[in-house]
Structure 1
Amino acid sequence: MLLAKLPRRSYTHATTPIEKLTHLSKLLDGPSIYIKRDDLLGLAGGGNKTRKLEYLLADAIRKGADTIVTGGALQSNHCRLTLAAAVKEGLKCHLVLEEGVATPYDPDANGNNLLYKLLGAEFIKVVPYGSDMIADMHALGEELAAAGRKPYVIPIGGSNELGSVGYVACAQEILQQTFETGLVLDDVVVASGSGGTQAGLIVGFHASSAPIKVHGINVSRPNETQIPKITDLVQQTASYLNVADNQLADRVHCYDGYVGEGYTIPTQGMIEAVQMLARTEGILLDSVYTGKVMAGLIDLVRKGAFKKEDNVLFIHTGGSPSLYANPTLFNEDLFVL
């Protein structure tokens, strides 16, 4: 598996650090917990989508695109970073945003919505909750093509086999970092949403014969739909890279007990987790992804899912700009040092 042969743009000029969460580990009295700081990746505000976009934008440029089309939720980190990547490459960007269950579009909202405007999205289309987002994005691409433009449609979350390569590369980066420091990882915990991050890590560790278990904490779907989604993407990514997929399906592990009432809807566990990491380690999480993932990790530690001697790596996938769209969400103290 030679990733260097694939076209790639570079948006981050160093590896993201792995830090030990000393205070959190001591507080929970469980395994040693580490964090991979992918919130420090390049582009506007950082986050895991940057790794995927390095491959997706290279493909768009290779195909002569002049406009990027993608979509997500109203406070989509993926849309923010895709827009930033398009700006960096001198391309235009059109966004399709889906309203929430009980969250109508507010053009004056803070957070990522503010950044869409600041970064200069050429066009934003807002669709109702439950819309067929894939169809909406492709329809927008067809309109652009009919007008003489050259659109390139990037899937939600950048999660196809090409985007997932970004986290195959990240798995290699993690293994190199742990080799250099002598850290032996037992488990990795990551958000399981559109799936590219989790799928890429699974394929990357598998291809390197690294027996590291990847735990995906669901942020939007129950296991009956999430596990097949991740398994399919794992197999597509492995096939794309000519990696043997024997027993790969057995490496897909998802936990759906931390979604709450649905995607983007806050939970008490998420609020506690965001406050806990802020007040023990000075690190910001977000309410949609990393807060729920950390809530899952904390609960799994409390339930004894990991041994005391284990080393567990939490992947920080970014997202803190969305905190500023919910200024009262953390008014209640659910965690106090």
Structure 2
Amino acid sequence: MDLRLKKERKASLGILPTPLMPLKRLSRRYHCEMWMKRDDLIGMGMGGNKTRKLEYLLGEALEKHCDTVITAGAVQSNHCRQTAAACARLGLECHLLLGGCEQPAQGNLLLDHLFGAKIHWAGSSRKGEDMELLAENLKKQGRKIYLIPYGGSDAVGALGFVYAVEELLIQEKQMNIQTDAILFASSSGGTQAGLVVGNQFYRAGKQVYGIGIDKSPTGEPDTREKIEEIVATITDQSGLSMPEPDIQLNGDFMDRPYAECGELEKHAMTVFAREEGVVLDPVYTGRAFGGLLRLLEAGMFKNRKILLWHTGGAPAIFAYHSQLT
């Protein structure tokens, strides 16, 4: 796999480059220079970082002449919502395996229905454990299936963030700035793996710092192992020579269960809304940047130039009214 050749073989879905904006009030408050990469404004299906992954995943699906896509996630999955939107644009049938049982359509789930996705309720299995079984049933109906893993996180999807590093470097050069660290919510591993490879491939020299938001269920590879696996697959397939990857993943802010919004998340959402007019989501950016605010208050990153990568997720906020008021 030639990384530069693979770049041309994608489905064009996002409005790129996404904006790079200064966070001036927060910079003054925390004594560092803060910037934000706005993948929440990427355009596809109300935005989010998964669009970058889907450009390569669905590009491959089209190359293979597939007509049906299956993926999985939690009931308020941003990945599933963006997959449903992308499939609608490309004329592909979309099946979503969502954790939990049938419930009122609000937030991302409302958009899943609006984009025409077929919903399958998976109980406690929110990470795609039943995708193969659904695929077999659909194959019997004559469908040609493309499976997308939980979070779009594999070596194909992660390419979206390998090339996102190049996009960032071009913007920084145009704006005459140079950040030295990238901070973001890390969950299924693909975003961080892509940034780690891109940081090396483009010689960006940045600290790639993920803030974990989801504990791995017992018996599954943890996020760090998943990141290492994806990095190894990309480098092996591309022939890219890389030193041992530096996987920086802070897991100190996962006291509450996944997708449960508490004081940490509410505080971050309030601070970013009132200081910068930026809406965070209660699951990913709320938890990750809530953790970041605690690190900043402790003096970490003081006098540094840091980039916060907004991965989107705002539609989910409307399903969290009771937890946010």
Tell me how far 1:297 sits from its aligned partner: 1.4
Tell me how far 1:242 sits from its aligned partner: 2.4
Match of 2:10 among 5, 8, 11: 8
TM-score, normalized by length of structure 1? 0.91
Match of 1:109 among 105, 110, 113: 105
How many residue pairs match? The answer is 320
- Deviation track 1:228-273 (CA, whole Å, cap 9, x = no partner) reads 222222222222332213222xx10011111222211123111100
Tell me how far 1:218 sits from its aligned partner: 0.4
Tell me how far 1:142 sits from its aligned partner: 1.1
Letter paired with 1:109: A
Letter paired with 1:11: L
- Looking at structure 1, the residues matched to 139 and 190 of structure 2 have their Cα atoms a distance apart, in angstroms, of 27
Letter paired with 1:150: K
Would you say 1:226 and 2:223 are equivalent positions? yes
Tell me how far 1:47 sits from its aligned partner: 0.2
- Deviation track 1:209-235 (CA, whole Å, cap 9, x = no partner) reads 22201111101027x922222222222
Runs of 4+ aligned structure 1 residues displaced above 2 Å come to 1-6, 131-135, 237-242
Which residue in 2 is equivalent to 1:323?
317
Which residue in 1 is equivalent to 2:56?
55
Match of 1:217 among 198, 211, 214: 211
Match of 2:285 among 290, 303, 321: 290
- Identical-residue share of aligned pairs (%): 39
- Deviation track 1:263-322 (CA, whole Å, cap 9, x = no partner) reads 1112311110001000111110100000011112111111122131x1000000000000
Tell me how far 1:45 sits from its aligned partner: 0.5
Q: 2:53 touches 2:161 (CA, 8 Å); kept in 1? A: yes
Tell me how far 1:132 sits from its aligned partner: 7.3
Query: Is 255-264 or 46-55 further displaced after alignment?
Result: 255-264
Q: 1:3 touches 1:169 (CA, 8 Å); kept in 2? A: no
Which residue in 2 is equivalent to 1:334?
none
What's the C-alpha RMSD, in Å, of the aligned pairs?
Answer: 1.7
- Looking at structure 2, the residues matched to 235 and 183 of structure 1 have their Cα atoms a distance apart, in angstroms, of 31
Tell me how far 1:17 sits from its aligned partner: 1.1
- Looking at structure 1, the residues matched to 38 and 281 of structure 2 have their Cα atoms a distance apart, in angstroms, of 14
Would you say 1:77 and 2:73 are equivalent positions? no
Q: 2:98 touches 2:126 (CA, 8 Å); kept in 1? A: no
- Looking at structure 2, the residues matched to 255 and 13 of structure 1 have their Cα atoms a distance apart, in angstroms, of 30
Q: 1:260 touches 1:267 (CA, 8 Å); kept in 2? A: no
Letter paired with 2:271: M
Would you say 1:306 and 2:276 are equivalent positions? no
Q: 1:83 touches 1:93 (CA, 8 Å); kept in 2? A: yes
- Looking at structure 2, the residues matched to 90 and 52 of structure 1 have their Cα atoms a distance apart, in angstroms, of 18
Equivalent residue of 1:324, what SS? Answer: helix
Equivalent residue of 2:316, what SS? Answer: helix
TM-score, normalized by length of structure 2? 0.94
- Looking at structure 2, the residues matched to 184 and 160 of structure 1 have their Cα atoms a distance apart, in angstroms, of 29
Tell me how far 1:186 sits from its aligned partner: 1.1
- Looking at structure 2, the residues matched to 255 and 306 of structure 1 have their Cα atoms a distance apart, in angstroms, of 14
Which residue in 2 is equivalent to 1:119?
115
Tell me how far 1:160 sits from its aligned partner: 0.3
- Looking at structure 2, the residues matched to 245 and 180 of structure 1 have their Cα atoms a distance apart, in angstroms, of 28
Which residue in 2 is equivalent to 1:200?
194
- Looking at structure 2, the residues matched to 57 and 118 of structure 1 have their Cα atoms a distance apart, in angstroms, of 20
Tell me how far 1:124 sits from its aligned partner: 1.2
Q: 1:161 touches 1:240 (CA, 8 Å); kept in 2? A: no
Letter paired with 2:262: T
Q: 1:264 touches 1:288 (CA, 8 Å); kept in 2? A: yes
Would you say 1:280 and 2:282 are equivalent positions? no
Match of 2:244 among 225, 244, 247: 247
Match of 2:27 among 25, 28, 32: 25
Letter paired with 2:108: N
Letter paired with 1:86: C
- Looking at structure 1, the residues matched to 184 and 12 of structure 2 have their Cα atoms a distance apart, in angstroms, of 23
Equivalent residue of 1:329, what SS? Answer: helix
- Looking at structure 2, the residues matched to 209 and 232 of structure 1 have their Cα atoms a distance apart, in angstroms, of 21
- Looking at structure 1, the residues matched to 322 and 17 of structure 2 have their Cα atoms a distance apart, in angstroms, of 34
- Deviation track 1:76-102 (CA, whole Å, cap 9, x = no partner) reads 010011011111011111110012xxx
Letter paired with 1:117: H
Structure 2: where are the runs of 5+ without partners? none
Tell me how far 1:117 sits from its aligned partner: 1.1
Letter paired with 2:40: D
Q: 1:74 touches 1:113 (CA, 8 Å); kept in 2? A: yes
